[in-house]
Amino acid sequence: MRFTSLFVLASLAVSSFASTVADVQADIADISSKTTALDNSINAFANPGGTLTQALTIHNNAVALGSSLDHGTTDANAVAPLPISEADGRSILTNLEALEPTIDDALDGIIARKDAFVALPLGGIPALVKQDLTNLNASTSAFEAALIVNAPADLVAEATALKSRIDAKFASAIAAYAAF
Ligand SMILES: *[C@@H]1O[C@H](CO)[C@@H](O)[C@H](O)[C@H]1NC(C)=O
């Protein structure tokens, strides 16, 4: 009796939390559009001379991207059925690789604007930027790790190399804000 009810609960849990490759692809599309929005808001911040309002737009876009990444991690960890097909794995990795230039541009833009953030009339913006970078690094790293765990074996090396490059880029951006 007890066994039966646990089994029913477990089945319900699986059916409510399982996700599909299509869900993960939709998450990547959402993450792509939020990464572009973040990058655009960073590039819109004049260097020097950006405004506090523009800095807060960057912050809001970073928070929105973080929550999309976390949602993607939940789906990637629950994807079924496994294993993912070779074609799906290839497509997911290609879509992730397409994000890399935008991530690089955003992080380069953040590094380049440090003095302009320091110059804002309200203090604490560089510390907020550092916090956002730290959170985005953790969320990005977790998403990549979840995708690598379920990647077809022959794509793991390529996916891990992508993760290493993105992790290193985040590390250099966070290092640029180490003083805050
Ligand atoms: C980025 O996040 C990962 C995973 O949480 C962590 O191991 C790494 O130390 C972080 N990098 C930096 C520079 O904080």
Q: Is the CB of 171 under 6 A from ligand 1?
A: yes
Answer whether 47's CB lies under 8 Å from 111's CB.
no
- pLDDT (tens digit per residue) in 68-101: 999 999 999 999 999 999 999 999 999 999 999 9
166 Cα to the center of ligand 1, angstroms: 11
135-176 pLDDT, tens digit each: 999 999 999 999 999 999 999 999 999 999 999 999 999 999
Cβ pair 136, 66 in contact under 8 A: yes
What is the reported pLDDT for 1?
46
pLDDT at 40 over 80: yes
Give the mean model confidence (pLDDT) for residues 22-34. 98
Cβ of 138 closer than 6 Å to ligand 1, yes or no, is yes
Instruction: Quickly state the pLDDT bin for 17 (edges 50, 70, 90).
Output: confident
Residue 2 Cα, ligand 1 centroid: separation in angstroms? 43
43: Cα within 13 Å, side-chain hemisphere: 11
Contact 155, 93 (CB under 8 A): yes
**28 pLDDT more than 60:** yes
Structure tokens at 164: 């290493």
